[in-house]
Every structure is written in C-alpha cells, then in structure tokens.
C-alpha cells in the first residue's frame, strides 16, 4: 500500500505509514476510519498543497455526512486556492447554509464577492460582522 502523503510503499497490513506515520488508505480507496479522520487527512493534504487530493477527502466527508458544513467550507477553500471563485462561492454558500456559525465561511464568501468585483455583496457580508 502506497502512502498518500510521502509515497512510501508499505505492507498491506500496515494501517500507518512506516515513513511519515499518516493513516493509510484501505483497499478500494476508502480512508480508514471516521468522518473526523477523513477531515484531518484532507486538512493535512491541504496544508501540503495537495489540493486535488484534499478536495477528494472533503468530498468523501460529504458523502458520509451531507450536512457537514466544515467539509463544504474546506471544499470552498480549495476552490479559492485553485482560483475558482464561482465554484468556491457555491461550496461556501452551502457551508453557511448547513452551519450558519461558520464564520470563516462568511468571511471567505466576502472575499470571493470582492474578487469578483461584487462590492455590494462583499459589503453586505462585511456588515454581518459589525
């Protein structure tokens, strides 16, 4: 089994990479463990700049729990980083609909609006925090 982080080959029975310690993916491509573990794997990949692979983990989180706002938020963040503001906007709107207390979702929505020169929307979102 190949480590998704460092690409080290590991015996199939290993649950963690012998080189970097990351939890390994089981046969069939499903990440071992819970939604929380998948989310953490996605965040680790995001920090490492592995945006496409992080996106896949966040999508898998939403497959497990379609109402998980933070997973939608992180999908939006990946879109922002990849330069896809319209896609980001859709994910971020979903995130704040699912969990209106996701402050980072509202802030990113404002930044996306500003980047698209939708200043009225950016101002409306900024007023939410005054």
User: What would the two tokens of residue 27 be?
Assistant: 């046969």
CA distance 108 to 91: 11
Judge whether 8 lies within some domain.
no
Judge whether 13 lies within some domain.
no
Judge whether 11 lies within some domain.
no
Total domains present in the chain: 1
Please, what are the averages of pLDDT over each run of 10 residues along the chain (130 residues)? 78 77 58 75 93 94 91 95 88 93 93 93 88
User: What would the two tokens of residue 92 be?
Assistant: 């971020």
Judge whether 87 lies within some domain.
yes
User: What would the two tokens of residue 81 be?
Assistant: 């980083």
Domain that holds residue 92: 51-127
Cβ atoms of residues 3 and 22 within 8 Å = yes
What pLDDT is recorded for position 31? 42
Q: Can you list the alpha helix ranges (DSSP code H) found in 1-130?
A: 35-47, 51-64, 69-82, 85-98, 103-115, 119-127
Q: For position 75, which CATH number holds?
A: 1.25.40.10
Model pTM score? 0.71
């Amino acid at each position: 089994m190949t480590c998704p982080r460092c690409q080290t080959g590991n015996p199939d029975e290993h649950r963690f990479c012998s080189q970097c310690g990351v939890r390994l993916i089981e046969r069939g491509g499903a990440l071992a463990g819970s939604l929380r573990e998948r989310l953490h794997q996605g965040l680790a990949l995001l920090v490492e700049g592995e945006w496409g692979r992080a996106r896949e983990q966040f999508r898998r989180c939403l497959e497990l729990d379609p109402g998980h706002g933070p997973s939608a938020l992180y999908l939006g963040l990946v879109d922002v980083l990849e330069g896809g503001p319209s896609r980001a906007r859709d994910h971020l709107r979903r995130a704040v609909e699912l969990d209106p207390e996701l402050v980072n979702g509202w802030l990113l929505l404002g930044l996306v609006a500003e980047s698209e020169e939708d200043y009225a929307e950016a101002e409306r979102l900024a007023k939410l925090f005054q």
